[in-house]
Amino acid sequence: MRVALPYDNGNIFAHFGKAESFVLYDINGASYTSMIISAEGHSHHELAPFLKDKGVDAVICGGMGQGMVNALSACGIRIYGGNNGSCEEAVKAFIQNGLEERVESCHCHDH
């Protein structure tokens, strides 16, 4: 399974659609490997297919606008919203089934 998190210096970047980079975690049982990738300038409407092309199955994030929720869902990418802090700690919680699949829609910038 491959999980993506919007990345900012080891932490979950607060604005998913404006993330300049993502950390991808390839999870196999209780172990994982990670790599940081550039968003390659992809805008809001391009991010979901971009992540799907990278093999992403799920995202761990804070909140996001409804348009992004719809785009990720249309690509079959599960959303684990309402998270902040360390990317690595969030992935460890995900592996231990400590995160629930949920969406936290952001209404702060007219999505």
Residue 52's CATH number: 3.30.420.130
Q: Is residue 108 part of a domain?
A: no
Contact 26, 2 (CB under 8 A): yes
Q: Is residue 110 part of a domain?
A: no
Structurally, the chain folds into a number of domains equal to 1
pLDDT at 42: 83
Q: Is residue 103 part of a domain?
A: no
| Whole-prediction pTM | 0.90
pLDDT at 102: 77
For 49-67, write each residue's pLDDT tens digit. Answer: 999 999 999 999 998 988 9
pLDDT at 81: 93
- DSSP letter string, 11-73: EE-SBGGG-SEEEEEEEETTEEEEEEEE-TT--HHHHHHHHHHTT--EEE-SBB-HHHHHHHH
Domain hosting residue 69, numbered range: 2-95
Of 34, 76, 70, which Cα lies nearest the Cα of 52? 76
Q: Is residue 16 part of a domain?
A: yes
Residue 65 and residue 78: Cα distance in Å, rounded?
A: 15
pLDDT at 110: 46
pLDDT at 63: 86
pLDDT at 100: 79
What are φ and ψ of residue 59, in 5° steps? -120, 145
Q: Is residue 101 part of a domain?
A: no
Q: Is residue 102 part of a domain?
A: no
Which of the residues in the chain have pLDDT under 50? 109-111
